[in-house]
Chains A and B, each alone.
Chain A
Amino acid sequence: MVTRFSDSFHTSVAKAHAVNEPQRLWWKQAAADWALFEHLRGPARWRHQCHPLQALQMSSEKIAKASFRVGTSRPNKFSHLGLTKMLRRLSSVRAPDQQELAEVFSVSCFQHLERLLKSVRGIAKEIERLPPAIAGPDQINTEYPWPDSNPVNAPADWEYDVWQRLATAKGREFLRFLARAIERYPQYAHVFR
């Protein structure tokens, strides 16, 4: 699934669906990071797993942050807002929005969407923990050699378990979910009131 958006696309779609400016900008960056992930994983055949994973983590973090930019002010603890919190938020939208949200994510009803959110949560958590600031200085991450005090591994050399999981049925389900979350953001941004 290749998803690329032009500047004019972002502006026109965002205006048409009443996405506010901070949401539009976070969404745009999420889409750009997603395009980088797809390029590295696909046509570029990038040999290091850390870089496409980093792009994937950044795209998921930014679409989550877009969902929390409801008002004009920056939310509390903005740096802590990641995909797993967005999943919780999607699970608790008000009743009139539930069917519409299910359709955005290509499932037939809200109960199926709840199952999908639960299903993708495991990989979402793994992706969320990839940055060194979250993983911790001595843990496997996608940016810095570890352990911090006496490094023995570099991200560029590492084969990540989550990379293998992305190739499974569960992983493909996660990637489809995230692609839709980014591509169709203007269709459901209004549920985050």
Chain B
Amino acid sequence: MNPSEIEPSSEIGKNALQDSSRSPPTTIDTLKKLQARLHHLYQLLAKPQIIHLRGFEHLQLKNVSHDIRHRVDTLFFDANIPVNWKTNVKWTHPSATKIDVHITFMNYVVKEKVKEILLDYFEKYYNHIIYID
């Protein structure tokens, strides 16, 4: 369940919201912020952790396959990233020549580590013509 949808079940939580007209605005603000942070935590834990590679068509890999998945595997191999850290690869063609790749990872820390390694790799070999968002 999405934490932002959770209704307070405890008596204290109910009172806090029922008495919102009497409570100082800071309490309500704090509760809203807490709810937002809980929602963000939920996103981190339950939603797929994805990076988007733009400019994938510029990659000059030794082993060029027509299959984008194989090319992502080769990129990971070249950048010294274990291929089994990713859980899924999807791609789109925003135009005839462009390829945007979406790679899903098992969790937040793995995604951040891969981003760090790939940014270094792209900076070193591709001078930022491929980028991550």
Asked if chains A and B come from one complex, the reply is no
Interface residues of A (CB under 8 A from B): none
Interface residues of B (CB under 8 A from A): none
